[in-house]
């Protein structure tokens, strides 16, 4: 089976780990729009693409016994490096030295023994933009603080998607979208024009993994159908939705075929890798 996951951050990292249990032919297509925390500081300092979500997804597919993998998420606690993750510094160092985001990620993936591929959703960094009821907002962090998001776009609007990312979606048998923050993670990756077009044209089974709970304030008051409608407004049309049976959307009606299954760990705060893998397998039969 050939699989791809589209999104960013912790959610897509979980999807990648789940897909890795099903196939070695897995590709993560990851947003580079983040501007908060360590990533935001590095973007402002070096004018490079956001690398935090790439770091998390590289770690998801990397060899867990690799010494670099084991230290990748380590964060410094003192001095000017306080708050920076080792993986972020390695990635921005490579990008700053080579000027090539995609090749930098590929080089680090090889060193870490990554199974499959991690590819940035765009060849360069982008700024996330949103139309809200209060007006236009720029920057992922600012947008995440809004409860009235209508439309997401990117700047530059013609940002190119890597050919490898487009091809991975086009040739996939299954594409997993989410979980993760609806607008600032999932749609942030899908809003790159080449990615939007590839998702629209793929013959793969497109699976949307719903969040366990609303993202406050980003999706406050959203039903499951509201999530699906938001994806559709941005050109993403899943074939099926996976919903945790203990989550807040388990009983929500939806216009798409919906598989309700155990997806979360005990406590219902995060998705469980094995449960999600089992649900994806069942949804592709």
For 235-273, write each residue's pLDDT tens digit: 999 999 999 999 999 999 999 999 999 999 877 789 999
User: What is the greatest pairwise CA distance in the chain?
Assistant: 52
Instruction: Give the number of other CB atoms < 10 A from CB of residue 102.
Output: 20
Output the pTM of the full model: 0.93
Q: Mention the CATH class of domain 2-283.
A: alpha beta
Here the tokens at position 224 are 């499951």
Q: Are 181 and 218 in contact (CB under 8 A)?
A: yes
* Average pLDDT in the chain: 91
Q: Are 54 and 105 in contact (CB under 8 A)?
A: yes
* Element at 74 (helix H, strand E): none
pLDDT in tens, 53-66: 999 999 999 999 99
Residues 19 and 52: their CA atoms lie apart, in Å, by 21
pLDDT in tens, 153-203: 999 999 999 999 999 999 999 999 999 999 999 999 999 999 999 999 999
Residue 57 vs residue 69, higher pLDDT: 57
- The whole-number pLDDT of residue 265 equals 86
- The whole-number pLDDT of residue 96 equals 85
Domain segments of the chain as ranges: 2-283
Q: Are 49 and 32 in contact (CB under 8 A)?
A: yes
Per-residue CA distances from 281 to 8, 231, 234, 245, 261 (Å): 21, 23, 26, 17, 12
pLDDT > 90: what percent of the chain? Answer: 75
* Element at 5 (helix H, strand E): strand 2-7
């Amino acid at each position: 089976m050939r699989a791809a996951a589209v999104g960013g951050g912790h959610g897509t990292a979980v999807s990648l780990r789940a897909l890795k249990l099903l196939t070695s032919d897995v590709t993560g297509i990851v947003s580079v729009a983040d501007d908060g925390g360590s990533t935001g500081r590095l973007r402002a300092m070096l004018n490079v693409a956001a690398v935090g979500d790439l770091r998390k997804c590289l770690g998801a597919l990397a060899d867990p016994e690799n010494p670099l993998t084991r230290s990748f998420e380590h964060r410094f606690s003192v001095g000017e490096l306080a708050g920076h993750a080792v993986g972020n510094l390695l990635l921005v160092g490579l990008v700053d030295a080579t000027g090539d985001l995609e090749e930098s990620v590929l080089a680090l993936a090889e060193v870490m023994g990554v199974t499959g591929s991690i590819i940035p959703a765009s060849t360069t960094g982008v700024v996330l933009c949103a139309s809200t009821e209060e007006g236009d907002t720029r920057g992922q962090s600012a947008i995440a603080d809004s409860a009235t998001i209508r439309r997401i776009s990117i700047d530059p609007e013609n940002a190119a998607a890597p050919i490898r990312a487009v091809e991975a979606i086009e040739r996939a048998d299954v594409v997993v979208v989410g979980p993760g923050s609806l607008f600032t993670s999932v749609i942030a990756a899908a809003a790159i024009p080449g990615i939007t077009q590839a998702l629209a044209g793929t013959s793969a089974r497109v699976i949307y993994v719903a969040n366990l709970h609303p993202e406050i304030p980003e999706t406050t008051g959203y039903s499951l159908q509201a999530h699906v409608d938001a994806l559709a407004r941005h050109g993403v049309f899943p074939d099926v939705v996976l919903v945790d049976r203990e989550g807040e959307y388990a009983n929500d009606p939806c216009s798409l075929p919906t598989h309700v299954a155990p997806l979360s760990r005990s406590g219902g705060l995060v998705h469980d890798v094995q449960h999600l893998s089992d649900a994806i397998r069942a949804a592709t039969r």
